[in-house]
Structure 1
């Protein structure tokens, strides 16, 4: 089914009732989607500082009160325990479980961070006539760990993750212009062209998501990605970190236009 014209509340209701279990790219056109990372309160300040120092991969849209699953700034009627199609549970850096609800995992000391997502800038790219390959081919966006080290903060450190979209060079230039206006959802690409320059030895070997074919005359275009906290979890190995599953995002009530610099 095409969910592009559904409202965020409608899609969240379908997710909560178990009727949607798929990547959210292309859903609720015009509304910001968000990555999520949940940590115990004792690590929340260090992570907030990490996000502040690494705004390209981790642009903060909302932070919940400790123990509250309600993102009051971005969707005050939502519940982060139920309104994302899939979640991942990391324990000591290992992804131990993937689940469709956080009901049995939620505790009163958890703090949730919502971070801007590149799916938000795909709508204006499509509106401008640019192809977004993973939407065309109906699969998850490809994502890679890089050799670009994030700026450390407290206990948090590790490599940046990027998402990739193949484009013709002229389209890539237009994509840079469009996404530069959207710094709260990763902004302009961090790299165009040779994957090896950012530590990706084989473009066909992904760390997250699904492969996109790079056709003749196209180049890979890489954006900083909000899956970076999952890479950080693998590096730092906190006792507990809960995240969205890559590509399965939280859909906010915030129009993308509010996150763009006009």
Structure 2
């Protein structure tokens, strides 16, 4: 398989979703923050039909962390959010769980695919990052060329059937005098997590050390900046690890599905 090189930051931003997905289909595996500017990125949770209702109900009861943008029916591999795409290949890296245990991190799902698998496409906070940047609010993980830091919290999600687990949050350091702006901007995107769930003290969420995220990479929190936390679409994977369904598949955190939808589709002024 040909492994493509990682495009430069301007090249990544200029790629169409189809062009970006083609790179991942060819084997490229890298976090996708800053890719395909203006187009919506999404989380994935894929489960057998038998578990699909519990996932749907879990998402309905926890819309802040699990905003569903679309569902691909059992066995189907494409849909309106990825025209001519293939959900089995078009994400850079996947996470495969058996009975709640991570057993593989493949770059495609051909060895794992089954005709009963249902795909849930879940909103991602990467969608509002361009809006923050447009307003002059830097995004630390983009500037540092790393993955967004994500943390399990002590906040429990509302359970549904056999699905239960903690809220997972992503963190971005925001200058203290821009926090109100960050809240206002992200609140305009309720379908992709919306406004923050917490501002300030990580310990209030049960986070002991910002330098040790559960997923992704630690970022610098400069002087005068405050950690701001948004609900994260990795939450369903945390529920999978706790609830232990026989099989579940997600995206590797930060390695998102780049969809054909535009960020502006989810803007609610």
Counterpart selection for 1:66 from 57, 68, 74: 74
Match of 2:17 in 1: 8
- Measure how far apart 1:76 and its partner are: 2.6
Report whether the alignment pairs 1:243 with 2:250. Answer: yes
Q: 1-side partners of 2:242 and 2:227: how far apart?
A: 26
Report whether the alignment pairs 1:233 with 2:240. Answer: yes
RMSD: 0.8
Deviations 1:19-42 (A, max 9, x none): x32100000111110000000000
Q: 2-side partners of 1:135 and 1:157: how far apart?
A: 32
Report whether the alignment pairs 1:54 with 2:70. Answer: no
1:165-180 to structure 2, matched below 5 A, reads: 165-180=172-187
What secondary structure is seen at the aligned counterpart in 2 of 1:247?
coil
- Measure how far apart 1:129 and its partner are: 1.1
Q: Which ranges of 4 or more aligned residues in structure 1 deviate by more than 6 Å?
A: none
Q: 2-side partners of 1:65 and 1:111: how far apart?
A: 5
Q: 2-side partners of 1:89 and 1:21: how far apart?
A: 16
Match of 1:23 in 2: 31
Match of 1:102 in 2: 109
- Measure how far apart 1:202 and its partner are: 1.6
Match of 2:196 in 1: 189
Aligned length: 260
Q: 2-side partners of 1:38 and 1:57: how far apart?
A: 16
What secondary structure is seen at the aligned counterpart in 2 of 1:33?
strand
1:26-175 to structure 2, matched below 5 A, reads: 26-70=34-78, 72-175=79-182
Deviations 1:73-96 (A, max 9, x none): 312321100000000101111111
Q: 2-side partners of 1:234 and 1:153: how far apart?
A: 15
1:191-210 to structure 2, matched below 5 A, reads: 191-210=198-217
Q: 2-side partners of 1:68 and 1:62: how far apart?
A: 13
Could you tell me which runs of 5 or more consecutive residues in structure 2 were left unpaired when the two chains were aligned. 1-7
- Measure how far apart 1:188 and its partner are: 0.2
Deviations 1:37-82 (A, max 9, x none): 0000001011101101111110000111111111x23123211000
